[in-house]
Amino acid sequence: MFYRASLQAAAVFASLALLAGCGLLSDSGSKVEQKVVVGTTSELSTLDPAAAWDNSWEMMRNVFQTLVSFPTGSTTPEPDAAEWCKFTDATSTAYRCKLRKGLKFSNGDRLDAEAVKYSMDRITAIKVKGGPVGMLGSLDRVETKGDDIVVFHLTKPDATFPFILATPAMSLVAPSDYSMHEIRSDGKVTGSGPYLLDSYKPGNRAELVKNPDYKGFANPKNDAVTIRYFKESAPVVAALKKNEIDVIYRGLTAEDVVSLEDNKGQNSNLQIVETVGADIRFLVFNPEDPAAGNAAVRRAIAQLIDRDALVAKVYQGTAEPLYSMVPKGIAGHTTSFFDAYGDPDKDKAKQILVEAGITKPVEMTFWFTTDRYGSSTAPEFDELKRQLEASGLFRITLKSKPWKEFQEGFNKGQYPVFGRGWFPDFPDPDNFIAPFVGKDSVTGMPYMKREITEQLLPQTRKESNRGAVSKQFERAQQILVDDVRLLPLWQGKLYVAAGEDIGGGERALDPQTVMQMWELYRKASW
């Protein structure tokens, strides 16, 4: 980390101030507040962790604490609100955590063992459909021992449980401000994270200020963060170029990335940081729909989709084709859909339909969200429609809704086919299989596959060496190929665009691809 300064002493003091998260020094020697403005097209769906299994985690990671977390660069959970956590038995069915001393919520209440138990119990009590309750399938009960010890008793061995506790969905909330039976909806937050939520205007902005009472692993490099929410990518990029915002995460189109990487002319004062991504996009088929519920129709679509053309035309090198639900870079990744279907083939797709007695073009409606995954989503579905209709075998109608309405719709089973994205809860193959199967699937529709839920996943969860479970996950992926209830399309690369005076972009994304706002800072300049 280098800083420009006219005097060596000034550089030293500025560096020390940054490292301490205390802000810059002005020419007069007075402190200047370190404030960063982040732009995104990813609006929140909720401020309550008990309802969140989506990009609302972006906010939660920064205003709440979890017992354990993923500091930048870590591949296993490390203590946050906890002083330590560990399995206390050989069967991985009892996980014990000891809390740090002196923790408290932003309303002044103590964060003790009972508050932890309350936070976990309300997730299962409220049981939001499509919410994080689906992650707690192995949890039997939570026990407290005194003020600072919490023991999680599991119904079965689950080596992934520490990873689950590290997700923002398991954020700790103040019992006095959060009902055991209802989602909080007053637009406020009572947490113990690195920041306090000073104000929030849905669809507009959120103002975060550093929490002076925070005790955890994070070391904030700034004093405050403003998050501005945009409906589309073009306005957020324009705001960055006009210096109205400092950073963009979530919302860059492929064209934006290519343009910004050029780093010439009007972009010479901007930078873009590329990070290996594990986020995926896929189609979900509703088994209750007359067309989408027909396996032959789903297989014909799988035979026609040209992923190479999709990523080349729409994403211009910022994504790559995906042939399984487990992406590259995650243990157990396969190319099972390519192995089953090979290259796109109109004749094979027609044969699949004819053998099922389908001789006329299949009419279907594909749904997507307009404000969750960036402005490239609409062109992506235009390309899917073009490919399917070019075969003469399908007639596709496209429809879309903003995320909140879209989410309500798929949770009610209203869409025949719809597009979803998945940003990993934690970097493990379990997290690309388990959330999509079972009665509490995040797709909003039960997907009962007993071999996966009762055999393969339980087997893998007994194994703490996650590199030793590839065979089970390969089998699970083959089952998904046979059903084609889920059709993987592509996996992305992650990009953070920022002004040249902003540092920390390369450290801001944790292994869950959630932005840790505290890593961002404004570089010294004189």
- DSSP code string of 192-243: -SSEEEEEEETTTEEEEEE-TT--SS---SSSEEEEEE-SSHHHHHHHHHTT
Residue 2 has pLDDT above 70, yes or no: no
Cβ neighbour number for residue 414 with a 10 Å cutoff:
15
Give the chain's length. Answer: 526
Q: Using CA atoms, how far apart are residues 304 and 384, in angstroms rounded to an integer? A: 10
Residue 99 to residues 4, 107, 160, 308: CA-CA distances in angstroms?
Answer: 42, 19, 20, 49
Residue 336 has pLDDT above 50, yes or no: yes
Q: Using CA atoms, how far apart are residues 35 and 522, in angstroms rounded to an integer? A: 8
Residue 21 has pLDDT above 50, yes or no: no
Residue 220 has pLDDT above 60, yes or no: yes
Percent of the chain with pLDDT over 70: 92
Residue type, 389: E
- Note the pLDDT of residue 263: 61
Q: Using CA atoms, how far apart are residues 138 and 94, in angstroms rounded to an integer? A: 11
Q: Parallel, antiparallel, or unpaired: how do β-strands 35-40 and 247-249 relate?
A: parallel
Q: Where is average pLDDT lowest: 99-108, 231-240, 250-259?
A: 250-259
| Residue range 442-451, pLDDT digits in tens | 899 999 999 9
Average pLDDT over residues 127-140: 89
Residue 69 has pLDDT above 70, yes or no: yes
- Note the pLDDT of residue 67: 98
Q: Where are the beta strands (DSSP E) in 53-112?
A: 68-69, 78-79, 82-87, 94-99
- Note the pLDDT of residue 250: 83
Sequence-separated (6 or more) residues with CB below 8 Å from residue 502: 36, 246, 247, 271, 520, 521, 522, 523
Residue 34 has pLDDT above 60, yes or no: yes
Average pLDDT over residues 223-243: 94
| Residue range 361-370, pLDDT digits in tens | 999 999 999 9
Residue 85 has pLDDT above 80, yes or no: yes
- Note the pLDDT of residue 16: 29
Residue 149 has pLDDT above 90, yes or no: yes
Q: Using CA atoms, how far apart are residues 379 and 385, in angstroms rounded to an integer? A: 10
Average pLDDT over residues 470-489: 96
Among the ranges 54-58, 62-66, 313-317, which has the highest mean pLDDT value?
Answer: 62-66
Q: Using CA atoms, how far apart are residues 81 and 218, in angstroms rounded to an integer? A: 11
State the residue for tokens 């999680």: 152
| Residue range 169-194, pLDDT digits in tens | 999 999 999 999 999 999 999 999 99
State the residue for tokens 């957020």: 236
Q: State the pLDDT confidence band at 30, using cuts at 50, 70 and 90.
A: very low
Residue 525 has pLDDT above 60, yes or no: no
- Note the pLDDT of residue 517: 96
| DSSP string of 377-412, one letter each residue | HHHHHHHHHHHHHHTTSEEEEEEEE-HHHHHHHHHT
Q: Where is average pLDDT lowest: 16-25, 173-182, 202-211, 506-515?
A: 16-25
Residue 29 has pLDDT above 60, yes or no: no
Residue 10 has pLDDT above 70, yes or no: no
Residue 15 has pLDDT above 70, yes or no: no
Percent of the chain with pLDDT over 90: 71
Residue 371 has pLDDT above 60, yes or no: yes
- What does the block give as tokens for 247? 């950073």
Confidence (pTM):
0.74
Average pLDDT over residues 287-314: 97
Q: Where is average pLDDT lowest: 35-49, 403-417, 506-520?
A: 506-520
- Note the pLDDT of residue 509: 82
- Note the pLDDT of residue 31: 52
139-143 contacts at long range (C-beta below 8 A, 24 or more positions apart) = 142/116, 142/117, 143/117
Closest CA to 516 of 126, 36, 12: 36
| Residue range 256-284, pLDDT digits in tens | 888 888 765 667 789 998 877 788 999 99
| Residue 270: strand pairing partners | 499
- Note the pLDDT of residue 440: 83
Residue 204 has pLDDT above 70, yes or no: yes
Residue 386 has pLDDT above 50, yes or no: yes
Q: State the pLDDT confidence band at 124, using cuts at 50, 70 and 90.
A: very high
Average pLDDT over residues 412-439: 92
Q: Using CA atoms, how far apart are residues 86 and 108, in angstroms rounded to an integer? A: 29
Phi, psi of 510 (to 5 degrees): -85, 175
- Note the pLDDT of residue 453: 94
Average pLDDT over residues 470-487: 96
What mean pLDDT, rounded, does the chain reach?
89
Q: What burial class does residue 174 get, using C-beta atoms within 10 Å of its C-beta: 0-12 exposed, 13-18 middle, 19+ buried? A: buried
